[in-house]
Amino acid sequence: MQFVSGETVGIDLGTTFSVIARLDAMGTPRTLPNRRGEPTTASVVLFKGPGEAIVGPTAEDRAGIPADNVVTAVKRHVGDPSYRFEFAGRRLTAEFISAMILRKLKQDAERHIGPIGNAVITVPYYFNDASRRATQRAGQITGLNVIDIINEPTAATLGHAWQRGELGRLDLPEDERTVLVFDLGGGTFDVTLVRYTPRRFRVLATDGDVLLGGLDWTQRMAEYCCDRFCEWFAADPREDPQSFSEVLRACEAAKRALSRRPRAIVSIHHDGRNVDVEFTDELLQQLTADLLQRTLDTTERVLETADVRPAEVHEILLVGGSTRMPMVRRKLQELCGRPPATTLDPDQAVAHGAAVHAAILEARTQGTESRMGQAVLRRLRSVHVTDVNAHALGVLVTDPQDLRRKFNHIMIPANTPLPVSVRQRFVTTVPNQRRIDVHVLEGEARDPGACHHVTGFRIAGLPPGLPIGAPVEVEYRYDENGRIDVRARELTSGRGASVAVIRGATADADVEEAFRRLAAEYTIE
C-alpha cells in the first residue's frame, strides 16, 4: 500500500450517519466536525438541482423538496450493479452517491486540518467483495487514496483497546482480553469477538445480519401506528407517501425518546384527521421481540464459532445508535451476566478505530518527520493486527458423479485468521481434458448461484490423451492486505495458471471518469 501526500483519516461511512476522524499529535482519536459543528453527518443526499447537492440536509433544507430528490440509506445498495438513482436525467450509481457523502466529509474536515490524501474506510461485516470494492471506488471518486477497508466492529474494538492505553505498550504483561462488539446501527447489524494483548490484536469470529437495524424498529412502530389509524378511520396513511414518511419521522423521534423515558406519543395526521398513539418501552419491545432475538441468535453463534463461553467475555462494547435502546442493554446483560461497557461513544467509536488503524499503517511508512510524537509512533508500530476473512472463499467444482452439476467447494472458511494459504488436490473429470477453468467464489453456500463470482481463469493447452482423474493442485493465498492469489496446476504436465485479486486495486477508467464528473459537475454543500 502506498501513501500519497496530505493528511490521513479514518471514515465511518454509515447507512444513516457518517463520521470522519484523525489521531491528534498525542495519539488520541478526534472527530472532525462538519461545517455546522456536528460530529456526525447524516448519510442523506438531497438534490437541489442538476449538479447541486446537500449532504446531511437539515429539516429546513428539506422543506418543500419532493421525496424523489432525496437519497437515504444508499449503503444498502453499494455493490449492487443494477441500482441507479435517477435525477434530472442522470442515473447515478450507489458508489457515486457514496462518493458525494465522502466528498462532504472530506471538504468539511479539510477546513480543520488542510488537504486530506489517505483514508481507511470501514464497512460492515456482511459486505462482500463487490460491495467492498464499490466502497473503495467511492473513495477514489472523491480523490481519496483508500489505504484499507476494514470491518466496522474490528475498528471499534481497535479504537477501544488503543484508548485504554494498552495496545502497543511493550512494557505491559501479555494479558489477554476478550471483547464482544455488538454493533446495531441504522441498517446493519454486526457482532464480533476480539481477543487482544498489548502487542497482538486478533479477531476470533465475526458474523452479521443483512438488512437489520434501527430502521426496522422504526418501521415496526410506523406499521403499528397505521394499523391503529385504520381502526379509527377507514383510511391508511401508508397509501400516501407524504403521510407515511411523516409517520416514520415521528416514530423515529418517539423511538429515541423511549431510550430516555418510559412513554412517548406519536401523532399521526392523514386525510385531514389525527390520531395519537402512545408507546411504552414495553410495547416497543413486544412489537420488535423477533428483531432483538435475531441479534441474540447471531451473538450466540459467534461465541460458539469461537468456542468462547459468555462468561469468558471480559467486556461487551456497544456500537451503533440503536444500542441506546434499553432492551438491547438488558438482553446483553442477561446473556453475559454483566452490564455492557458504557465508555464508548456509540456514534464515533467506529471512525475513531478507523483513524487508529490508518495511523498504524501510516506509522510504518514514516520516519521522524511525523506530526505525531515519537512515543506515539513507537506504540503504533508495535501493534500487530490480525483480522479474519468475513466470507468463505471457494472454488467451483464439477460433481464427478454428475458432470452437469457444479458446486462451491470451500477452500478458506469464513473466520480464518489472515494471512492464510491453503492447497488442495482435485482431479480432471473427463478423458482427454484439454483445459481447466478455475472460478473463485465467495460465500458459504454450496450452490454456486448463491455465491459471488470473484474472478476466474483458465489453464489451456493440456497435453492430449490426459486420463480422467489427472491430479490438479489448487492453491489459495489470502494475505492481510486483502490480496488473494489463486494458482492451479495440472501436475502430470506441469501446466498451470494463476490470478491475483487485489482488494483496493488502482482506479480503473470508470472511476476516473466518475472522479472528473463529481469534481467538475457537482457542488456539494
Residues near ligand ADP (CB under 6 A) are 14-17, 185-188, 213-215, 218, 252, 255-256, 259, 320-322, 324-325, 347
Nearest approach in angstroms of CB 44 to ligand ADP is: 11
Which of the choices Mg ion, ligand ADP, none does residue 208 contact, using the CB cut-off of 5 to 8 A by kind? none
Nearest approach in angstroms of CB 114 to ligand ADP is: 27
Which of the choices Mg ion, ligand ADP, none does residue 168 contact, using the CB cut-off of 5 to 8 A by kind? none
Could you tell me which of 100, 97, 137 has the C-alpha nearest to residue 121?
137
Could you tell me which of 174, 217, 188, 426 has the C-alpha nearest to residue 326?
217
Of residues 310 and 326, the one with the C-beta less far from ligand ADP: 326
Under the phi-then-psi rule, with left for phi > 0, alpha for psi from -120 to 50, and beta for the rest, what region is 417? Answer: beta
Of residues 13 and 518, the one with the C-beta less far from Mg ion: 13
* Three-state DSSP state, 251: helix
The stretches of 168-213 forming alpha helices (DSSP H) are none
Nearest approach in angstroms of CB 16 to Mg ion is: 8
Could you tell me which of 472, 516, 511 has the C-alpha nearest to residue 495?
472
Could you tell me which of 115, 111, 98, 117 has the C-alpha nearest to residue 36?
111
Nearest approach in angstroms of CB 214 to ligand ADP is: 2
Stretch in the footprint of Mg ion (CB under 5 A) among 94-102, 179-187, 251-259, 354-362: 179-187
Of residues 284 and 484, the one with the C-beta less far from ligand ADP: 284
CA 482 – CA 478 distance, rounded (Å): 7
Residue 159 in the binding site for Mg ion (CB under 5 A): no
Residue with cell 442477561: 334
Of residues 39 and 51, the one with the C-beta less far from ligand ADP: 39
Stretch in the footprint of Mg ion (CB under 5 A) among 28-36, 180-188, 291-299, 356-364: 180-188
Neighbours of 24 (CB within 10 A): 15
Residue with cell 501479555: 174
Of residues 212 and 250, the one with the C-beta less far from Mg ion: 212
Which of the choices Mg ion, ligand ADP, none does residue 214 contact, using the CB cut-off of 5 to 8 A by kind? ligand ADP
Nearest approach in angstroms of CB 267 to ligand ADP is: 19
CA torsion sign, 193 to 195 to 196 to 200? negative
Which of the choices ligand ADP, Mg ion, none does residue 16 contact, using the CB cut-off of 5 to 8 A by kind? ligand ADP
One residue of 10, 57, 153, 185 binding Mg ion per CB under 5 A: 185
252 contacts 218 by C-beta, under 8 angstroms: yes
Of residues 124 and 237, the one with the C-beta less far from ligand ADP: 124
CA 108 – CA 99 distance, rounded (Å): 14
Amino acid at 425: R
Residue 14 in the binding site for Mg ion (CB under 5 A): yes
Longest CA span, the chain: 82
- Put the strands of the sheet holding 315-319 in their side by side order: 315-319, 177-184, 189-196, 200-209, 384-386
Nearest approach in angstroms of CB 430 to Mg ion is: 50
Nearest approach in angstroms of CB 65 to Mg ion is: 26
**Contact footprint for Mg ion (CB under 5 A):** 14, 185
